[in-house]
Amino acid sequence: MESLFLGIDISTTGSKALLVNEKGVVVGSAANEHPISTPKPLWSEQDPRDWWNASAKSIREALAQAGVTGDAVKAVGLTGQMHGLVMMDEKGDVLRPAILWNDQRTAEECDEITRKVGFDKLLAICGNKALTGFTAPKILWVRNHEPEVYKKTAHILLPKDYVRYQLTGDYAVDHADGSGMILYDLKKRTWSKELLNILDIPESWLPKTYEGCEVTGVVSARAAELTGLKAGTPVVGGGGDQAAQAVGVGAVTPGIVALTLGTSGVVFASTPSPLVEPEGRLHAFCHSVPGTWHFMGVMLSAAGSLRWYRDTFAPGMGYDELLAPAADIPAGSEGLLFLPYLTGERTPHPDPLARGAFVGLTVRHTKAHITRSVIEGVSYGLRDSMELIKKAGLGEIKQVRVSGGGARSPLWRQMLSDVMDSELVTVNTTEGAAFGAALLAGVGAGTWKTVEESCTATIKTMEKTAPNSETVKVYEQYYRQYTALYPALKPSFNALSSL
């Protein structure tokens, strides 16, 4: 019986189970959805028990699809949505619905953290500014608004780690996901006693911390019965979705950058030391690779901008059909620029009031021009993160590995290569975070000695896209105009939001 590794991904929309063999071949895959609740404007919640139920079902279905029993699984790795808050009592029962990464209720708590800690000290300790998406402000919100829940709290977990608790009975977190709570000492790769003391959060509530490929516990008899896994199967730390996604495409060494072109856009770069962007415009977290860290720039509406455009102005049209005429439009869309801030922005402008805009429209512009300007605007926005990463001390960027739905477009890949003046490559793996979690499990099981070795054994580069030197020059001029638009329009964005 061949050795298999199980990656479990607890995303916002569903829980996925992926079985991978030692060659990196996916032999079984299943996913089950779970609902999301928005009980008030700006709120976003889920019932953690839905994650576990969906995960258990997906594991059983993936095993059945592969035609194997749980004996074939040598180790389990976990990944999933970051920053969510699960509060549990001393018995391990959930006290309230989990508050998710995209919940926006904690603006006042972010100000409270910055005021109590100090902006410079917060950045120096955890590498990030206080933003509504992170976990620490959510903890303070519960204390401020639901004191009865807060009094009963004995344990705090992140989404994937609630599933870990159900699998093993252990309270544990990996460094990559844990550092996203902004309660971590980035340099020491563990909880910051200083931040916890200032914010008056009991350290006893927080789980034990591990590297991404370290074993945190084993599958319990109860979980084995529910999932079909073998009791005693090792479960490793894993990583937050973006760190595991980076492992899944091989972005595990400095100089190899992962660019994810999904609904949101992410630029992810491994760093050999805990570097911090001086103004906190990049997220700085631990990596799932032991002893390494990473920068991350996040764009809220990447391929999501194209989907909005398609659904609004060309409903029912396929993306290939929509983009084909745009290939005949010259670079720069003949003076038309698009700001992709349709849902606010995070990097480089952490501004929920930022708005989308077309600038430079004339009667000469056609639908094809506007289509091209949308994906050019997204490409400029992703370059913003790349520029910050370069300036923050990463050094030479050797290769950009692109994945996500938008990366299937040859036009968009060439455009990104030209805008960033960098070679882009695709890889043979398309399962992303769940695949990365499975590789981390393989390292934990001893099949590979290091995460880098697991990536070399299973991940191969496929299509390469090189920049066109003449188009690079054109885009350089348009990019300079693009970067001037947000500062010019910010007063209008603020004024419009108050009308």
Residue-range domain boundaries for the chain: 4-243
pLDDT band for position 263 (50/70/90)? confident
pLDDT of residue 66: 97
pLDDT of residue 261: 92
Helices (H), 169-314: 175-179, 193-199, 221-227, 241-249, 303-313
Residue 1 reports pLDDT greater than 80: no
Instruction: Give Cβ neighbours of residue 245 (< 8 Å, ≥ 6 apart).
Output: 79, 258, 260, 266, 268, 403, 432, 433, 436
R_g over Cα of the chain: 22
Residue 350 reports pLDDT greater than 90: no
Task: Please say whether the beta carbons of 116 and 136 come within 8 A.
Answer: no
The long-range contacts involving 325-329, CB below 8 angstroms and separated by at least 24 positions, are 325/366, 325/367, 325/368, 325/371, 326/368, 326/369, 326/371, 326/372, 326/375, 326/411, 327/411, 328/368, 329/368, 329/369, 329/372
How far is residue 239's CA from residue 456's CA, in Å, rounded to a whole number?
19
Q: What are 209-226's pLDDT values in tens digits?
A: 999 999 999 999 999 999
What tokens were used for 279? 């103004």
Task: Please say whether the beta carbons of 189 and 139 come within 8 A.
Answer: no
Question: What is the pTM (predicted TM-score) of this model?
Answer: 0.93
pLDDT of residue 328: 97
Q: What share of the chain is helix, strand, coil (3-state, %, to 5)?
A: 40, 25, 35
Least confident of 187-201, 369-383, 397-411: 397-411
Single-letter amino acid code for the residue at 120: D
How far is residue 158's CA from residue 10's CA, in Å, rounded to a whole number?
10
Q: What are 25-64's pLDDT values in tens digits?
A: 999 999 999 999 999 988 999 999 999 999 999 999 999 9
Closest by Cα among 211, 207, 209 to 169: 207
DSSP single-letter state for residue 467: P
Q: What are 86-139's pLDDT values in tens digits?
A: 999 999 999 999 999 988 899 999 999 999 999 999 999 999 999 998 999 999
351 flagged as catalytic = no
Mean of all residue pLDDT scores within the chain: 96
How far is residue 344's CA from residue 354's CA, in Å, rounded to a whole number?
5
Give 30: exposed, middle or buried? Use CB within 10 Å, 0-12, 13-18, 19+. Answer: buried
Residue 395 reports pLDDT greater than 80: no
- Bridge partners, residue 37, by sequence: 45
SS3 of residue 401 by DSSP: strand
pLDDT of residue 89: 98
pLDDT of residue 367: 97
pLDDT of residue 42: 86
Catalytic position from the list 241, 328, 351, 421: 241
Instruction: Give Cβ neighbours of residue 484 (< 8 Å, ≥ 6 apart).
Output: none
Quick one: average pLDDT of 430-435? 91
Domain over 4-243 is classified CATH 3.30.420.40: yes
Q: What are 133-185's pLDDT values in tens digits?
A: 899 999 999 999 999 999 999 999 999 999 999 999 999 999 999 999 999 99
How far is residue 478's CA from residue 476's CA, in Å, rounded to a whole number?
6
